[in-house]
Amino acid sequence: MSEITTARVWQLKQKLKQHGVPLVAWNRDAPHYLNRRPWRLDLLNKARLLDIYATHTLIDTRTFSDCVLYLPNAADTARYHLGSNPEATLARLRDPAA
């Protein structure tokens, strides 16, 4: 997979803006950012290209947008599987009696 550049994000933002569509990013890897170079992250943060930045943690000072959507304890269960048991759900995993 090729690395997404600031220029490509800017181009996407311009195309979406023409149609009144906000550019939203959901960061599932903060604060590690898949080992991206800090200078690239700082550049994206300073550029403020995102209209909405969604994250599960606010531990990092980078917000990448003026509008931050905080999703505490968010889990993408379709991507982060809960085990081989199809009955496994977050509610059942939290239940001490289960």
What confidence tens digit (pLDDT) does each residue in 12-56 have?
Answer: 999 999 999 999 998 877 777 777 888 988 998 999 999 999 988
Domain with 51, as residue range(s), is 6-74
Q: Is residue 10 in a domain?
A: yes
Burial 35-72 (b: 16+ CB within 10 A, else e): eeeeeebeebbeeebbbebbbbeeeeebbbbeeeeeee
Q: Name the band, by pLDDT with cuts 50, 70 and 90, for residue 80.
A: low
Residues 6+ apart with CB under 8 A from 70: 54, 55, 56, 58
Domain contains 97? no
In a domain, 81, yes or no: no
Number of independent structural domains in the chain: 1
Report if residue 96 sits inside a domain: no
| Residue at 93 is within a domain | no
CB atoms within 10 A of CB 27: 20
pTM for the full predicted model = 0.65
* 47 part of a folded domain: yes
Q: Is residue 65 part of a domain?
A: yes
